[in-house]
């Protein structure tokens, strides 16, 4: 059985850091208020003229270096983003050009908001399992600062910009949970919950980009229940139990959501990777950013079972289990 094995991780964060105290000078909020409700201390904000594809390309180059690979070895590029450079073409093709991958590769974007990286990973995994490609570059990249209403303290304090990248390579496995690579992915959506989290604009509706709008309390309620359920689904599909998981790497939406989900699954805090305090919510970039940090600091090691999960606008949600 073909498996999609992680060959390298990379990340990129814009240079500018905006602290909670700096935000408190712009909107009616405080460092204490933000920390208590989200766990966030700071976020990175892209510079003027710095695009989502730029962040994605930097992260991709770092992942290629980690994998010891060159751009011409990549068969497939998928960029998960809700903030593309342009309405079209796909940011993935821009990254393809900036990396110099050549036209033997293909690229496209996936849009599932904060669940985007899980959706992109599942898509790349299926391309590899089907034998259509041997290598895939999966990127989550966002410049959410461009779609925030900076007068709305309920949303503008929660998000940041950044990119994380993962390189997958095909390897043969036995088809058991002892294999390295992606063991399972599980995706869901419910369009009836659109109004809980959306952007109030678009080329076909208003002709403008619009701003992010969110019903925070309702999103919180759905997040804990839906993400817990999709994690259980992944564990059951692979025959694993929660105590088999070495590292739980959730979407970094809110520290209270992360803690609530971990408690519900009985996963100890010492096995949860948390970066929301320094990155804030970077939407589709949050999981690969957190994975990259945990790989670089030595927490995630070869052979570890890693569980990821996310929920985003749509609503969309999903999970995945990998053996590193």
| Residue whose structure tokens are 């019903």 | 215
* Integer-rounded Cα radius of gyration of the chain: 18
- Residue 251 a catalytic site member: yes
Strands (E), the chain: 2-12, 16-19, 42-45, 76-80, 106-110, 135-143, 161-172, 181-189, 197-199, 212-214, 247-250, 305-312, 316-323
Q: Check: CB of residue 259 under 8 Å from CB of residue 282.
A: no
Q: Considering the candidates 44, 62, 101, 114, report the single residue annotated as catalytic.
A: 114
Does the annotation mark 126 as catalytic?
no
pLDDT value of residue 102: 86
Distance in angstroms (rounded) separating the CA atoms of residues 321 and 308: 6
Q: Mind listing the pLDDT tens digit for each residue in 69-106?
A: 999 999 999 999 999 999 999 999 999 999 999 889 99
Task: List, for residues 144-160, the tens digit of each pLDDT value.
Answer: 999 999 999 999 999 99
Tell me what pLDDT residue 251 has. 97
Distance CA 66, CA 210 (A): 37
DSSP-assigned states of every residue in 150-166: TT-HHHHTTB-EEEEEE
Q: What is the pTM of this model?
A: 0.98
What confidence score (pLDDT) does residue 103 get?
Answer: 87
Residues of the chain with pLDDT below 70 are none
String of DSSP letters for 57-102: HHHHHHHHHHHT--GGG--EEEEE-SS-SSSSS-HHHHHHHHHT--
Which pLDDT does position 256 carry in this prediction?
93
Question: Which of 44, 186, 222, 251 is the catalytic position?
Answer: 251
Domains, the chain: 2-172 (3.40.47.10), 181-323 (3.40.47.10)
């Amino acid at each position: 059985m073909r498996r999609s094995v992680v060959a390298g991780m990379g990340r990129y964060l814009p240079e500018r850091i905006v602290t909670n105290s700096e935000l408190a000078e712009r909107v009616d909020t405080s460092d204490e208020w933000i920390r208590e409700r989200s766990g966030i201390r700071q976020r990175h904000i892209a510079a003027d003229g710095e695009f989502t594809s730029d962040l994605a390309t930097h992260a991709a180059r770092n992942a290629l270096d980690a994998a010891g690979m060159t751009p011409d070895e990549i068969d497939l590029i998928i960029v998960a983003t809700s903030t593309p450079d342009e309405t079209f073409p796909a940011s993935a093709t821009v990254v393809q050009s900036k990396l110099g991958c050549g036209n033997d590769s293909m690229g496209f974007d996936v849009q599932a908001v904060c669940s985007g990286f899980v959706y992109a990973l599942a898509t790349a995994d299926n391309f590899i399992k089907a034998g259509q490609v041997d290598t895939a570059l999966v990127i989550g990249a966002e410049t959410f600062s461009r779609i925030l209403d900076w007068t709305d303290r309920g949303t503008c304090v929660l998000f940041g910009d950044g990119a994380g990248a993962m390189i997958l390579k095909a390897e043969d496995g036995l088809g058991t949970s002892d294999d390295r690579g992606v063991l399972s992915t599980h995706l869901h959506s419910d369009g009836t919950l659109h109004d809980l989290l959306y952007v109030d604009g678009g080329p076909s509706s208003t002709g403008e980009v619009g701003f992010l709008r969110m019903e925070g309390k309702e999103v919180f309620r759905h997040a804990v229940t839906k993400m817990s359920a999709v994690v259980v689904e992944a564990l059951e599909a692979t025959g694993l139990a929660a105590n088999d998981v070495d590292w739980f790497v959730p979407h970094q939406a809110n520290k209270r959501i992360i803690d609530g989900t971990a408690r519900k699954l009985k996963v100890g805090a010492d096995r949860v990777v948390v970066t929301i305090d320094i990155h804030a919510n970077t939407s589709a970039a949050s999981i690969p950013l957190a994975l990259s940090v945990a790989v670089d600091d030595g927490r995630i090691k070869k052979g570890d079972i890693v569980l990821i999960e996310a929920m985003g606008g749509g609503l969309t949600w999903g999970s995945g289990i990998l053996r590193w």
